[in-house]
Amino acid sequence: MDEVKPTRGGRAVHVAARQIGATMNAQVEKVYEQVVARNRGDLEFHQAVREVLDSLVPVIEKQPQYAENGLLERLVEPERQIVFRVPWADDAGNVQVNRGFRIEFNSALGPYKGGLRFHPSVNIGIIKFLGFEQIFKNALTGQGIGGGKGGSDFDPHGKSDAEVMRFCQSFMTELSRHIGPNTDVPAGDIGVGGREIGYLFGQYKRLRNRYDAGVLTGKGLGFGGSLARTEATGYGTVLFAQSMLGTKGDSLEGKTVAVSGSGNVAIYAVEKLQALGGKAVTISDSSGYVVDEAGIDLDLLKQVKEVERGRVADYAARRPGARVATGGSVWQVPCDVALPCATQNELDGDAAAILVKNGCGVVAEGANMPSTPEAIEVFQKAGILYAPGKAANAGGVATSALEMEQNASRTRWDFETANAKLTDIMADIHDSCVETAERYGQPGNYVLGANVTGFTRVADVMIAHGII
């Protein structure tokens, strides 16, 4: 496959037959070529599959049972792909039509589990990539959940609460046919927060005439939500970065950190950073980024983004000393640690080179696949500590599974209990990645460690289940 030029809307850049510099054996290469042929135009999905397959070469060569009986071919093909029309009426009475998706990718370890993304950029290729990544992320948590993802090209930004409600009700009218506490458990993602989850759950309950609290996670505390869920992805990413630094006898204390994004992940990454002695100096959204060299004011950030649903420019306007940048990249700001927490492919090879040049020594992904293959190659060649999203940001889905556990027993843990469990899970994920990388002769390679650990946990069960 030849180089693919960048396209608009955050599409993948340089998705080519050679990615991340690894050489694949013939069998694995054949699987990748089949993926490209069957999923033409799904660039993000190609990229995600290639990254995983590259890491699996030493595993396949040492343990051929993983390539037998079409296991790889089955792993890259979703068990079920659901695409549906979502009609709804806006406040003016005009009928709008969006497209909904749910990719139920792999249920070897348990019910499908993964978020719903509402954003204009959503298409089936993005949902496939997110669902595929979710397989390995969920396996890393050790919690018995499979991989799935869903969403719509609906944009909640600028819509009234009533419009969002009508859309969510229409979306769930179709989705409800396919989900359940023991089948498929969606959660939130970009554009889907507590408001949207509430509307979705209400419609599910109305349609099914059942109070299945465990059918969705990320719920409000009044109807089965878990304490620490909102904070979990951002907290977990920072905890993973702290563990990475710990392998070098270092910590986040006194570190300057560049953070992208300004949603839940970024906000609570900033909060955890501050608790551990680090200083976040940037935030961003689609309008640009803010540099606050004194350190992000967490209370102001929460007010602007969580209460007012405003833009980062609104933060800068009310924060003395902060400045807004509309050109360049957040990654041009000098930092010790980088936490990309916005969206896929936001950090390219050029940005990675700037980070390395400016002395950045740690990159932990709070978003899903925010670094392009070229960026990953730069990080690995420079020998800096780099953690892929499927490991570093697994705290969100881990706490979602904890929410499912509480729902099943009709209990609610206090914040300290849920946070302690999250902390233990992130430490276990980190240590598992380190041990696997060392076992395969690539110490410090968190990409290999995460991919191989997640893969073997899923593959062993797929073999046990037979050819299905």
Two tokens, residue 306: 């969580």
- First CA to last CA across the chain, in angstroms? 30
List Cβ neighbours of 341 (8 Å cut-off, separation of 6 or more).
Answer: 234, 237, 259, 260, 261, 263, 265, 266, 269, 366, 367, 370
- Catalytic residue, candidates 113, 128, 149, 279: 149
- Please give the C-alpha separations between residue 68 and each of 34, 63, 233, 381, 447, in angstroms, as whole numbers: 16, 10, 36, 33, 24
Which residue type, as a one-letter code, is found at position 114? G
Two tokens, residue 271: 């909060």
Question: What 3-state class would DSSP assign to 102?
Answer: strand
Q: What are the backbone angles phi and psi of residue 414, rounded to the nearest 5°?
A: -75, 170
- Is residue 390 flagged as an active site residue? no
Which residue type, as a one-letter code, is found at position 460? D
Question: What 3-state class would DSSP assign to 57?
Answer: helix
Contacts of residues 348-352 at CB distance under 8 Å and 24 or more positions apart, as own/partner, are: 348/13, 348/372, 348/374, 348/375, 349/14, 349/374, 349/375, 349/377, 349/378, 351/375, 352/376, 352/378, 352/379
Two tokens, residue 60: 């396949």
Two tokens, residue 365: 């992904």
Active site residues: 149
